[in-house]
Amino acid sequence: MRTVKVPLGNRSYDIKIGSGQLSRLGDGCARLKLGERCAIITDTNVGRRYAKPAYNSLLKAGFNPCLVTVPAGETAKSLRSVQACYDRLAAHRLERKSFIVALGGGVVGDPAGFVAATYLRGIHFVQVPTTLLAHVDSSVGGKVGVNLSAGKNLVGAFYQPRLVLCDLNVLDTLPPREFRAGIAEVIKYGIIYDADLFARLERDLPKLLQRETKTMTEVIARCCQIKADVVGQDETESGLRAILNFGHTVGHALEAISSYNRFLHGEAISIGQIVAAKLSHTLSDLSAKDLGRIVDLFQRAGLPTTAQLTPRQRVKLIAAMRLDKKVSDGEIKFVLARRIGKVGWGQRVSLASIHKTLANIARDRS
Ligand SMILES: NC(=O)c1ccc[n+]([C@@H]2O[C@H](COP(=O)([O-])OP(=O)(O)OC[C@H]3O[C@@H](n4cnc5c(N)ncnc54)[C@H](O)[C@@H]3O)[C@@H](O)[C@H]2O)c1
Ligand SMILES: [Zn+2]
């Protein structure tokens, strides 16, 4: 078992990574001295498999849980499901010391965290992520929220969990496409922060794809450590934290123009990172060799590196990017790589360069 600490003063918390964490949920919450009433928020796929062990673990530790199940899928990350959760919390009479357990991937953790941030002006919450993407990214760092039809994550808050429990066993049932989508965020950490991690991924990708326990534990712990370092220095994204958005400006726009149902988040940001890497080569210092290594690793992971967009879709994509929160004063700001392991943020990129790169990747064949 590995523990990573997110250093945020009196709001610091632990991320515990290992096999069997789910059964320790009740004990973990008891140690935090949380109130008796609580709610597990999960989705239909995850609930079917893991709600019972989570529920029983809480019960055994003396808590009084209720179970709230939202539909699975990105479209459920909405104000409508948040409203449904509030109603259930009120019916179960959750109070100020009560807490929420977010049991699922990012599509559960983001809105469940938002519910926790806003219900009674804030109650505690614990993350039990069940996808690779949520283990390495969405469950850590306190960004919570929902989508609007106009764009991703347009409503939300910064609100930190009290504890994150990453149980490797639950990843056994994650469909291969979802697992690969999580690898897109793992590769991101290598590009933005850690050349050694990137080199390890080049070496150990087959072991990771086979979900070998030792490799998964070490890689997930490293990603969480990087996220903890970044969030510890810049919790509310006034600077450094922006590096975590590498590939996300284009990625989020791709998700929005395809109504959140063509690409998984990880797939969209895989394409987004390829666009960002190509822009980094033309506009910043990224060498052709590093660009080639980046494209190669995404391809080997079975992630998309091209998008066949029509000129009309490209125009829609640019319009969606303008709505993204990373756009200010009509300028599109990008995180660009200088080399593998080092990026700069806030770099202004012209619409013409973006158009050109999008047209180029539409022609590439992977
Ligand atoms: N808050 C953040 O900092 C942050 C960071 C990155 C991504 N995100 C958000 O996370 C979301 C994507 O999350 P995700 O990729 O975890 O997707 P997800 O939550 O939709 O999960 C993927 C699918 O797998 C199913 N599933 C989850 N765990 C399972 C398991 N163990 N076994 C079988 N099936 C399982 C789910 O029901 C769903 O159908 C996006 O909305 C993205 O914007 C947030
Ligand atoms: Zn992401």
Q: What spacing in Å lies between the alpha carbon of 43 and ligand 1's midpoint?
A: 10
The rounded percent of the chain whose pLDDT value lies above 70 is: 96
CB-count burial class (<10 Å; 0-12, 13-18, 19+) for 240 = middle
245 catalytic residue (yes or no): yes
Q: For residue range 230-248, what is the model confidence (pLDDT) as tens digits?
A: 999 999 999 999 999 999 9
Q: Is the pLDDT assigned to residue 164 strictly greater than 80?
A: yes
pLDDT, tens only, 253-274: 999 888 777 899 999 999 999 9
Q: What does the pLDDT read at residue 331?
A: 65
Q: How sure is the predictor about 360, in pLDDT bands with cuts at 50, 70 and 90? A: confident
- CA–CA distance, 233 with 211 (Å, rounded to integer): 31
- What are the residues whose beta carbons fall under 8 Å from the beta carbon of 181, sequence distance 6 or more? 131, 132, 133, 264, 265, 266, 267, 270, 303
With a CB cutoff of 8 Å and minimum separation 6, the contacts of 125 are 99, 100, 101, 102, 112, 113, 116, 159, 161, 162
Q: How far is the CA of 176 from the centre of ligand 2 (A)?
A: 18
| Residue 327 binned pLDDT confidence (cut-offs 50, 70, 90) | low
pTM over cut 0.85: yes
Among residues 90, 73, 85, 148, the alpha carbon closest in space to that of 114 is found at 85
Q: In this predicted model, what pLDDT tens digit does every residue of 190-222 receive, in sequence order?
A: 999 999 999 999 999 999 999 999 999 999 999
Which position among 77, 124, 135, 143 bears the catalytic label? 143
Nearest-atom index, ligand 1, CA of 264: 15
Residue bearing the CA closest to ligand 1, atom 7: 138
Are the beta carbons of 71 and 44 closer than 8 angstroms?
yes
| Residue 153 a catalytic site member | no
Contact 126, 29 (CB under 8 A): yes
d(CA 351, CA 223): 32
Residue 130 alpha carbon to ligand 1 centre in Å: 8
Q: So what's the pLDDT on residue 311?
A: 84
Q: What pLDDT is recorded for position 366?
A: 44
Is 33 catalytic? The answer is no
Tell me if residue 218 is catalytic: no
pLDDT tens, position by position, 36-77: 999 999 999 999 999 999 999 999 999 999 999 999 998 889
